[in-house]
Chains A and B, each alone.
Chain A
Amino acid sequence: MHSAVVAKEGSENFEIGSERTLYPYVTGTSVIGIKYKDGILMTADMGGSYGSTLRYKSVERLKPVGKHSLLGASGEISDFQEILRYLDELILYDNMWDDGNSLGPKEVHNYLNRVMYNRRNKFNPLWNSLVLGGVKNGQKYLGLVSMIGVHFEDNHVATGFGNHLARPILRDEWHEDMSFEEAVKLLEKCMLVLLYRDRSAINKLQIAKITEEGVTIFEPYSLKTFWKFSAFHNPTKGAEGSW
């Protein structure tokens, strides 16, 4: 979305119109990532919201990058696709060196940080929060880059609503060297809370793992929800007519 540039002959070119991102249009909601025994586990749902409509229900927001990394994004989907193109180019040039070395997650994270910060300084941000996880030479790495270039690495990260709803659970229940099953259970716990309490979440999620062996993105599936609390059945029991 940009305003048309109107330029008259001989007149000064004021900043009447300019092309820059003002607000996101098609957005993805939270991404959660955690370190576990063998590597990184990341999860995101498959929804792409167009404002308050749930427009797209099969958006893959977790993508492998090179041999050692996995990228998850929340926010504007078109900007995420643009970032994937940048990363494609980055990995291609790296492969062209053909020197036996390949970009690890730390390097990709740094590259993304530079890109995001640079765009922010030009007042034209890529409207995403990116989760970058990977394993190289046995070293696990999990980091986050926000749309303004705030970046850090941690044992567990979350974007969007996940910050408020999933982080408390992760801070309480994450521990070193979780097994794959434990880690999946923990992620599902967080995703269930998000499903209940985030209006843009949908019940179709994907889990992806990255280990020394490589990336596996699992098939989408849905969680079981529970709605049978007795207070929901008859909230006005004992006070008929109230609401």
Chain B
Amino acid sequence: MLLQKGVQPPSFRKTGTTIVGLVFQDGVILGADTRATEGPIVCDKNCEKIHYMAPNIYCCGAGTAADTEAVTDMVSSQLQLHRYATGRESRVVTALTLLKSHLFSYQGHVSAALVLGGVDITGPHLHTIYPHGSTDTLPFATMGSGSLAAMAMFESKYREGLTRDEGIKLVCEAICSGIFNDLGSGSNVDVCVITKGRTEYLRNHQLPNPRTYVSSKGYSFAKGQTEVLSTKTTPLKEKVEVIEGDAMEE
């Protein structure tokens, strides 16, 4: 009834996004843009979409920001408890199963589309997880509103056995494709490189949208630039000395 009157329900903070992952010869590389939107407005120009799950597992999230944050945080804690219980490094399929069962049980109402990647004892793994709980295991994956633009880059340039630098370059190209061709994605490129025994989180690896100023020195307003019509000087009132009074009666 309220909708008829023109009330708009609050638009959720969505990460209208480009997130990607690819498997290269030594492990997995994840990439994401950094724009968070509330409907048509960019509410965060530099948010973090690559979430920590375990020292060797990271997860990119697209969809409703609260959902991606909450679900990755939750599974990250569960993984840590599991590590203490088992005494072993976490495996990517563990994170995968925890995430997919949670999302499935909420029948798609938890709007989180994830790209999960990591390297564990069984090797490098890359998975996509959809809001309804289905998963795919892929050599390269993209999710979010910019996924088609990023996938166009991957499909034309991906091959097996990429080196670290080639992989990072391809991930950046895919994210930049999303940033410049999709309106829901923008700002900077975050990259995370996961290999056996070592993870590098390269926050703001590329900044292809710098803030530009007309003048490199910024702006200065010299005296005399603005015409003065009249001047009135009012001295500040005399400061009144306050003598310390007696302490208040208790």
Chain A residues proximal to chain B, CB less than 8 Å: 161, 164-169, 171-172, 189-190, 192-193, 196-197, 229-232, 235-239, 242-243
Cβ-closest chain B residue relative to A235: B137
**Measured between C-beta atoms, what is the minimum distance from A238 to chain B in Å?**
3
Cβ 8 A contact of B149, one of A168, A189, A192: A168
Q: Which residue of A lies closest to B134 (CB)?
A: A243
Interface residues of B in 128-154 (CB under 8 A from A): 135-139, 148-149, 151-153
Contact A231 to B138, CB < 8 A, known contacts A238-B93, A238-B123 = yes
- Docked complex: B150-182 residues within 8 A CB-CB of A: 151-153, 155-156, 160, 173, 177, 180-181
Inter-chain contact B156/A238, CB cutoff 8 Å: no
Expressed in whole angstroms, the Cα–Cα distance for A197 and B163 within the complex equals 26
Give every chain A residue within 8 A of B135 (Cβ-Cβ): 243
Instruction: Flag whether B97 is at the interface (Cβ < 8 A).
Output: yes
Question: Do B139 and A197 have beta carbons less than 8 Å apart?
Answer: no
Residue of A nearest to B181 (CB): A168
When distances are taken between beta carbons in the complex, the residues of chain B under 8 Å from A171 are 180-181
Contact status B151-A197, CB under 8 Å: yes
Q: A165 and B151: CB pair below 8 A?
A: yes
Do the beta carbons of A172 and B177 come within 8 Å of each other? Answer: yes
* Secondary structure type dominating chain A contacts: helix
The interface size of chain B toward A, counting residues with CB under 8 Å, comes to 26
What is B's interface to A at a CB cutoff of 8 Å? 23, 91, 93, 96-97, 122-123, 125-126, 135-139, 148-149, 151-153, 155-156, 160, 173, 177, 180-181
Q: What are 20 of the A-B contact pairs (CB < 8 Å)?
A: A161-B148, A164-B152, A165-B148, A167-B149, A168-B149, A168-B180, A189-B156, A190-B152, A193-B152, A193-B156, A197-B148, A229-B139, A231-B126, A231-B138, A235-B136, A236-B137, A238-B122, A238-B125, A242-B93, A242-B97
A231 touching B23, Cβ below 8 Å: yes
Selected from B91, B97, B155, B180, the residue in CB contact (under 8 A) with A193 is: B155
In the assembly, what is the distance between CA of A235 and CA of B96, in Å?
Answer: 13
Residues of B within 8 A of A189 (CB): 156
Given the known inter-chain contacts A171-B180, A238-B93, please indicate yes or no for A193 contacting B122, CB distance below 8 A: no
